[in-house]
Amino acid sequence: MGSEEFNQALRDWINEQTGGLLEAQADGLSMDPETVMALASTIYYRAKWHSEFNEAGTEKGLFHLFSADGETVECDFMHKGGSNTYYWADQFGAVALSLEGSGKMWFLLPDDGMDG
């Protein structure tokens, strides 16, 4: 791991597995300690929600990038009502949505003023 040959093989695999959906993100990917979390956060996981989102509830909004200048990009946000339990912890909040079968996907949101 860490060689340019390995890094290129990793980028090629990600692009193949995601049908090129993450090509821009994979372009600069290398396996040094600073990119391990970037890799973990771009895994293409094929699963269905236990209770699907209604496409009509999708709305445009601003996504705040992890950057020093506070850059934002406009993207689509899925919305869902329901009675999910929201967990509060020191410096972040989290909610889990059920997947078909027995899995869950956790969403964590840092408190205002927290980095990353």
Distance separating the N- and C-terminal Cα atoms of the chain: 26
Confidence (pLDDT) at 24? 87
pLDDT of 35-60, one tens digit each?
655 666 666 667 888 988 999 999 99
> What's the pTM value of the predicted model, to 2 decimals?
0.52
Rounded Cα distance, 53 and 57, in Å: 8
Q: Which residues contact 35 (CB under 8 A, 6 or more apart)?
A: 29
Six token digits for residue 31: 């396996």
pLDDT of 57-92, one tens digit each?
999 999 988 777 888 999 999 988 777 788 898 889
Confidence (pLDDT) at 114? 66
Rounded Cα distance, 17 and 116, in Å: 27
Delimit the domains of the chain by residue range. Answer: 4-40, 55-110
pLDDT of residue 1 exceeding 70: no
Q: Which amino acid makes up residue 114?
A: M
Rounded Cα distance, 96 and 85, in Å: 8
